[in-house]
Amino acid sequence: MMRQYELVDRVRRYNPQTDEVLLNRAYVYAMKAHGAQVRASGDPFFSHPLEVAAILTEYRLDDATIVAAMLHDTIEDTDSTREEIDRVFGPEIGGLVDGLTKLKRLDLVSKRAVQAENFRKLLLAIAADVRVLLVKLADRLHNMRTLHHMAAQKRARIAEETLDIYAPLAGRMGMQRLRDELEDLAFRHLMPDAYATIEERLNDIGRKNDLRISAIEKELAEALSAAGIKAEVRGRQKQPYSVWRKMERKSISFEQLSDIFGFRIIVDSDEACYRAIGIVHMRWPAVPGRFKDYISTPKPNDYRSIHTTVVGPGRQRVELQVRTNAMHDIASNGIAAHVLYKEGHVRANEGLNNESKAFQWLRRTIESLADGSSPEEFLEHTKLELFLDQVFCFTPHGRLIALPRGATAIDFAYAVHTDVGNTAAGAKINGLPAPLLTELRNGDEVEIACSEGQVPPSVWETLVLTGKARSAIRRATRDAMRAQYAGLGRQIVTRAFERAGKPFAEEKIKSALPRFARLSVEDVLAAVGRGEMFSGDVLKAVHPEIADDRKVVMPRLGNEAGWFRMKSNPPVVFRVPGISDEADLKLNPIEGFHFGLPVVFAPNGGAVPGDRIVAILARNESVTVYPIQSQELTLFDDKPELWFDARWDIGEDRGPVFASKLLITAINEPGTLGAIATVIGENGANIANVVIELLSPDFRSLTVDIEVSDLKHLSTIVSQLRARPVVSKVERVNG
């Protein structure tokens, strides 16, 4: 284990003004806090935070970051508290340590939700201070270096999490050297056989081509020197994980790889980069389509370099990268290069907004994803932002937009601005009209046409590629549905107030919000519109003095307040506004509602158990049950007093059957009707009626009335029908 003076010496080498007293105090504090704790390897636990601090000295980080590395597990794994860390080491270090501490006592239903919520907390802390990220990545790197001491199942989980989250995050922050080691270690544990095979092949090729690599290095160096360009030429071999990923992505064998080796040319200036690439292309022919200029167009993680592939000696393809020393520093250390200790201080977040596109991306990602998403959604969308190669497109004004490969014009619109995406109605790509779902290519100029009042279709969520677009679409869809429910709720509540002779006033509802456990009046109205809350409850909360004057004779269902069963067939139960107990069965008059009325289904399509249903009072003759998606319900939009919440009162065993209607578009050929009937019959459903209509010489339309037991039964039939080659489309008809 590293000793106290060794760590101080590491820091003093790049920071002669280091606060040795602070470093020594942190060393002693952490060692005492962790006490007799041991790691899975049997080593003292304190050896881990010490090694994390040592890794960070390689990046020449400031005293606060080194101290935070030594203390990063104290709040989580010892009796130390944030208040104590603040008192002993100051709020700056306390904030760093707290950002690295996992949330405790999370009452969540799955480990994935816990992982996601902790990851959200980590990213928010990183957005406040980027040094949290550097400590976290160093922490993960040391854990991966010692992963072989863990149990097999835990090794697999940690390695998979590293490949899914931390290695891509390091890559998006430009820390390629650290990313390569994380990927290499994770690959070694997740697929040991594949790793060993590829490593053996690479070593074998390296031995066989050692002389060739040296010859190419020498030839390149001499050619550049002859042209007056001072350059350092380095040969390099691909990492095992990089080789495996390319084989998987392109579905090729190891023998088909043509770029196992690459060369890096390091020069003094941007101008020398372009001169060097010219010398190379004059000496060896370039491979078409393999030239990329990331100096004039840097990657979003600040990476700058020129890439090319040439046909070199022996007709061998050779990959080349040309960059300056400063570019190489950024390419290797990424965002850490922006926070290096320099001239007596660390540049932490100071100036990062101007220096680091990677940090700007991180903050934008958090802002766009954190609002309103569940932890699982946040993790899913962040992964989408971390992965995939990129394409670079432009707005008509020349603004560069970087997107994942395979992204569409919709993704582009949301990358420009959330409002542009939400109102996108069409696109022009390179001046020509194109569908919004067109996949974009490098260099495309994209213009988005917008339409005010447009709401993004919910189906877009499954079609876009970026996490930002998916999150924004989900949020816009949710807001639109909420507004729709709030409008319906407003009508229902207004009518309830009118019946009670009271004026409807949002201010009075607002004053009663604590009783509703809602944040706003719109939330209350939306809850009423969704059937989660009832207008009588809102009325009573605002006007508790109103007395009920009418009794209702109806048996209450067990302990479920407000739900009552009618003697009726089909088995449906109702919730009556204002009733919560048989001992309190008074309410304002519900005009025309008599509980002895028969209950019937809507005639066109009806509902099956599993559907959300509502009941409509029909001219004091019956109560009609509709599925919530029925188009016929629009006829009652202006009559909210006729609406009653309802639900199914059916056990798990299959009892009665229920009518449903399917509209099937199928190929007009012999055997089509038989194939459809076979699917329905094999699933235990009955065909009550079939109406066939010829749509064209190629297609016919079949309206099929079938009898099923519940929604799951019906969904299974629909799914299997859609899978039949003769079926083009299946839709359920609801009223």
Catalytic positions, written as ranges: 76-77
Spatial contact of 450 and 425, defined as CB atoms under 8 Å apart: yes
**Degrees to nearest 5, angle at CA 171 with 233 and 238:** 45
Question: 177, 337 in Cβ contact below 8 A?
Answer: no
Residue 338 · residue 352 · CB < 8 Å: yes
Distance CA 639, CA 616 (A): 10
Question: Distances from the Cα of 429 to the Cαs of 252, 287, 409, 440, in angstroms?
Answer: 33, 27, 8, 8
The phi and psi torsions of 346 (rounded to 5 degrees) equal -105, 145
165 to each of 182, 201, 405, 411, how far by Cα in Å?
11, 28, 19, 22
Q: Which residues contact 201 (CB under 8 A, 6 or more apart)?
A: 254
| Phi, psi at 208, each rounded to 5° | -70, -30
What lies within 8 Å, CB to CB, of 467 at 6+ separation is 365, 368, 369, 380, 381, 382, 383, 384, 385
- Sorted by sequence, the CB contacts under 8 Å of residue 82 that are 6+ apart come out as 75, 94, 97, 98, 101
Sign of CA dihedral 512, 518, 519, 521: negative
d(CA 195, CA 243): 10
Cβ atoms of residues 521 and 489 within 8 Å:
no
Is there a contact between 377 and 471 (Cβ–Cβ < 8 Å)?
Answer: yes
Contacts of 65 (CB under 8 A, 6+ apart): 56, 96, 131, 134, 135, 339, 346
Number of other residues whose CB lies within 10 A of the CB of residue 222: 11
> E strands within 413-519?
424-429, 432-434, 446-450
CB 562 within 8 A of CB 579: yes
- Residue 716: CB atoms within 10 A of its CB come to 15
Give the relative orientation of helices 47-57 and 20-34 as an angle to the nearest 10 degrees: 150
Number of other CB atoms surrounding residue 715 within 10 Å: 14
Task: Name the CA dihedral angle for 43, 45, 50, 53, rounded to a multiple of 10 degrees.
Answer: 120
Helices (H), 531-593: 535-542
CA–CA separation, 69 vs 11, rounded Å? 13
62 in helix, strand or coil? coil
Q: How many angstroms separate the CA atoms of 348 and 456, rounded?
A: 40
SS3 504: coil
Going along 677-721, which residue ranges are E strands? 686-694, 699-708
Q: Are 424 and 410 in contact (CB under 8 A)?
A: yes
Q: SS3 letters for 278-332?
A: HHHHHHCCECCCCCEECCCCCCCCCCCCEEEEEECHHHCEEEEEEEEHHHHHHHH
Stated as kind and residue range, the H or E segment containing 442 is: none
CA distances 677 to 674, 683, 702, Å, are 5, 10, 11
- 397 phi/psi in degrees, rounded to 5: -95, 5
